[in-house]
């Protein structure tokens, strides 16, 4: 397993947001983490990244205990992040935003030309300022920035949020492409069906706990189970 989250409890001040959350991602696996608003999905990502560290339990990445490491150390180990708000610097160009993401890790390095191969439009966007980009274009920048950090694992937080259905399909295709390139993926989504279509396994959260886990294709075809867990 490249990522092992083992019984973590996470708090915002006095308020407990995660209760004994355990999940794992295998090498080259795509895993989705689904659940209603406020279930604790983003908090799980924040705990993995050390942004809101777990108070109890353990997070292991690539064989190392990273539970209490600094966020920049965790990134340096090879965890990429595509945040829900995409978080590009609006007044900087695409080229500048991408150059900020460059890192060397023990995992496969990505060059700009590799990103242009995935996102053909990106090359022409390079001189543009990010504040003028569409949602789909901004998502290409956010994903490329994560890849240029040479990740072994990429955490996606609601990558389809605010995107047109066609662009959502492109993002999901990108996730499958990353898997083909050997990058492991944990994807948080509201768009359950789209995420399940590209995932190997799925976890469902509710009220800060994992309430279901299993193979993604099974949940995709089990309408009763899926509707009872996710409402869709």
* Residue 50 touches which member of ligand ATP, Mg ion, none, C-beta under 5-8 Å by kind: none
CB of 18 to Mg ion, least distance (A): 13
Q: DSSP labels for 20-86?
A: EEEEEE-TT-EEEEEESTTSSHHHHHHHHTTSS--SEEEEEETTEE-TTS-HHHHHHHTEEEE-TT-
Residue with tokens 């047109």: 164
Binding residues (CB under 6 A) for ligand ATP: these are 12, 15, 17, 35, 37-43
CB of 22 to Mg ion, least distance (A): 19
CB of 42 to ligand ATP, least distance (A): 3
Taking contact as CB under 5 A, which single stretch among the options 2-10, 36-44, 125-133, 198-206 is the one that binds Mg ion? 36-44
Burial class (CB in 10 A: 0-12, 13-18, 19+), 12: exposed
CB of 111 to ligand ATP, least distance (A): 33
| CA–CA dist 14, 182 (Å, integer) | 40
| CA–CA dist 65, 85 (Å, integer) | 28
* Residue 151 touches which member of Mg ion, ligand ATP, none, C-beta under 5-8 Å by kind: none
Q: Is 42 in the site for Mg ion (CB under 5 A)?
A: yes
Residues that bind Mg ion (CB under 5 A): 41-42
């Amino acid at each position: 397993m490249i990522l092992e989250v083992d019984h973590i409890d996470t708090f915002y001040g006095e308020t407990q947001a995660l209760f004994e959350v355990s999940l794992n991602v295998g090498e080259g696996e795509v895993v989705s983490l689904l659940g209603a608003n406020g279930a604790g999905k983003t908090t799980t990502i924040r705990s993995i990244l050390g942004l809101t560290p777990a108070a109890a339990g353990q997070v292991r990445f690539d064989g190392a205990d990273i539970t209490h490491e600094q966020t920049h150390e965790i990134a340096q180990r090879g965890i990429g992040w595509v945040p829900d708000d995409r978080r590009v610097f609006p007044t900087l160009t695409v080229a500048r935003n991408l150059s900020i993401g460059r890192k060397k890790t023990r995992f496969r390095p990505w060059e700009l030309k590799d990103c242009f191969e995935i996102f053909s439009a990106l090359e022409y966007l390079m001189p543009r300022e990010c504040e003028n980009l569409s949602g789909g274009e901004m998502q290409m920048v956010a994903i490329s920035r994560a890849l240029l950090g040479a990740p072994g694992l990429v955490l996606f937080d609601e990558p389809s949020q605010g995107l047109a259905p066609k662009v959502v399909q492109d993002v999901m295709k990108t996730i499958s492409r990353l898997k083909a390139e050997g990058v492991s993926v944990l994807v948080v989504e509201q768009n359950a069906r789209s995420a399940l279509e590209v995932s190997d396994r799925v976890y469902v959260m509710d009220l800060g706990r994992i309430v279901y886990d299993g193979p993604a294709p099974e949940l995709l075809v089990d309408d009763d189970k899926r509707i009872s867990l996710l409402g869709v």
